Structure 1
């Protein structure tokens, strides 16, 4: 864990402790409300807490992405010290990939080809030339950095049940809901009644997601002073990630995956007038609309704008329902359950399902085929002295156990 993240967590914990002290003081003195000074202090600390929470979530997300990229670059070989071997493998992979980006597979040795093939699941590519299309990578007297505009996406993918298959053939599995059937007392000399088990079936296909193509000039690949391969690989992966994330939450199921929220059962519908609001009792009702069999591993799921509404809610004693995490790697909680933020989920609005609760792994299953891959189009643009790169991922997802998940739905008016 980085020093910056540790300090941010400690600072957030300290602020939260001070806010709790203000609340406890009012309860000890049997007051119905905070004083004007306490309210001003509370509001200031709450604003600071919000900013810190956003920073912490961003740093934790970056750490997870970095860990995934390093894991994907490991190739297993026999013998030697494991720590030193991993470092050698990382260096060898970077050298092999740099050669591949600049000159293609034909420039690699047999060992480098095997290394690249073993790590084919990484989505990698490069850029194009003048100006904003890539020329800014070529050094003049500029700062040795790249400014990247960010926009958060995803969240659900790390919580649902994801399986990886070697091929994209249709994947079928049986389903059964026998919860409505119960046993009975049998009187003496009475024939046992029959009650059949009803089976169903679900399936997953494999939609092909593409990052769209990027063309890179050979001059750019040779002259760039930046980690062009790492930068463009990240951009292609993020493009595919944004497309997948949107469908995981609200995909229609027609020519794309069906989202977790798309046809989910409403566990609670807000009262008239609550088109953009949520009340404390609604969340309690939503939580208890999910059977206790699932609640032990259940999570909340909402967008950042939905979380903003929820964070302002307080219980009957005036205590915030949302509790920030005070430890790295642990999510913040709402009514005792972790909160997953995914901006593919609808924001609070008339008729929208903006909050969900349930066991996400039981409720939704996603399938990807052999990880993401990259294609290098060398001959197609040879007369332009350019190379084309594109990433793709074969992926599908569908709700699985509908009883494991319920949503809060805002009224139409």
Structure 2
């Protein structure tokens, strides 16, 4: 575990070194003039390197979490070999999906990861390592930015609608005249509803492929189902329309700042400052940035009048990058900078609630496709999200050209 942490620290330092020695110089040029062809190639290479660093850090963080979970599990039974052996046998049967027809994986982040079947070469021992990233938790962490940024998560046992009362306006005091009746305006209330939309994926695999393959086909299919559901959930919680589907946090948020005319949708330094202060102080202190992946390159170039860059790359294990002292999370689902697009969001993300019904189910059936001698796999998740306080989160919208 120590070695993994040291490796993450080394990668963070390499990323910071790349920014200081190449990224800043190129960003300085971009603030003065258009890139030459050679400079454009260099800048794109630096951006690609930043992306690669980010993926390596995510991989190591998941590996670290997996190692921690395994150690915690082993510690529970360190004094009883008989119990430990029995529980490990049952756990392996569940995680391999070979002896259980249904396996539930919740989103608490404490699940054991599934080990690949490496006991024999035919089960995949020749091709893949003993363990790999958690097949179902990994997609959520990678694809659902609002969860990483601190959205409030609740889990219910059933999927009925949840009606949430909320204050739509807080009322106001009024200036008073001596010896007259006190006045003021009353607060107003409305309601919002958390539903339970279904997300699913289905795969059918021939019996021959499962029995004869040199790799763990079951593990691969389960991983793909988890990724597909994670991708879809991330998209809907980010930019879902709210019409017969989840209202994503970008869709539900009001526009706090509109870009200047003549910038063609890109945010300026002043736009970022204005968006930051468009949020009330209580929310601002707990705020986070969610920024479209395609907008991050432009944000890295922004600096104040003293030449200090807004973007601060992290060099601390487990700490995100910062803008104006608040954490930054990339989102692949948000729109790229463009006229009318909303590529940047800031605010207290805990005001966005994500509701799960029970947990993600990954199921296998040997009987459903009996006539074609195929094995069926399916994944099902019921979830929804809503913004409980519209004043807590706001977006930047690209201005006209």
Q: Is the structural similarity TM-score above 0.5?
A: yes
Q: Which residue of 1 aligns with 2:143?
A: 153
Q: Which residue of 2 aligns with 1:175?
A: 166
Q: Distance in 2 between matches of 1:74 and 1:395?
A: 31
Q: In 2, are the aligned partners of 1:298 and 1:359 still within 8 Å (CA)?
A: yes
Q: Which residue of 1 aligns with 2:313?
A: 324
SS in 2 for 1:225: coil
Alignment of 1:380 with 2:368, yes or no, is yes
| 1:276-302 CA-partner distances (Å, limit 9, x unpaired) | 322111111111111111111101111
Matches within 5 A, 1:51-200: 51-65=48-62, 80-81=77-78, 89=87, 92-98=90-96, 100-101=97-98, 105=101, 144-145=127-128, 153-159=143-149, 160-182=151-173, 187=178, 190-193=180-183, 195-200=185-190
Alignment of 1:203 with 2:193, yes or no, is yes
SS in 1 for 2:143: coil
> Structure 1: where are the runs of 5+ without partners?
27-32, 35-41, 106-115, 126-137
Deviation of residue 263 (structure 1)? Answer: 3.9
Q: In 2, are the aligned partners of 1:53 and 1:324 still within 8 Å (CA)?
A: no
Aligned pair partner of 2:357 in 362, 369, 381? 369
Q: Distance in 2 between matches of 1:178 and 1:391?
A: 41
Q: Distance in 1 between matches of 2:267 and 2:240?
A: 24
Alpha-carbon distance change, 120 to 313 in structure 1, aligned in 2, over 3 angstroms: closer
Deviation of residue 232 (structure 1)? Answer: 2.1
SS in 2 for 1:391: strand
Moved more, 283-292 or 225-234: 225-234
> Structure 2: where are the runs of 5+ without partners?
33-38, 115-120
Q: How many residues were matched structurally?
A: 369
Deviation of residue 408 (structure 1)? Answer: 0.7
SS in 2 for 1:144: coil
Q: Distance in 2 between matches of 1:243 and 1:280?
A: 33
Alpha-carbon distance change, 202 to 353 in structure 1, aligned in 2, over 3 angstroms: same
Alpha-carbon distance change, 323 to 118 in structure 1, aligned in 2, over 3 angstroms: closer
Q: Which residue of 1 aligns with 2:8?
A: 5
Q: Distance in 2 between matches of 1:79 and 1:154?
A: 32
Q: Which has the larger radius of gyration?
A: 1
Q: Distance in 1 between matches of 2:112 and 2:200?
A: 11
Q: In 1, are the aligned partners of 2:170 and 2:186 still within 8 Å (CA)?
A: no
Deviation of residue 239 (structure 1)? Answer: 0.2
Moved more, 81-90 or 318-327: 81-90
Q: Distance in 2 between matches of 1:11 and 1:174?
A: 49
Deviation of residue 14 (structure 1)? Answer: 4.1
Deviation of residue 195 (structure 1)? Answer: 4.3
Q: Which residue of 2 aligns with 1:409?
A: 397
Q: Distance in 2 between matches of 1:54 and 1:197?
A: 47
Deviation of residue 383 (structure 1)? Answer: 2.5
Q: Distance in 2 between matches of 1:215 and 1:177?
A: 48
Q: In 1, are the aligned partners of 2:22 and 2:46 still within 8 Å (CA)?
A: no
Q: Which residue of 1 aligns with 2:300?
A: 311
Deviation of residue 65 (structure 1)? Answer: 4.6
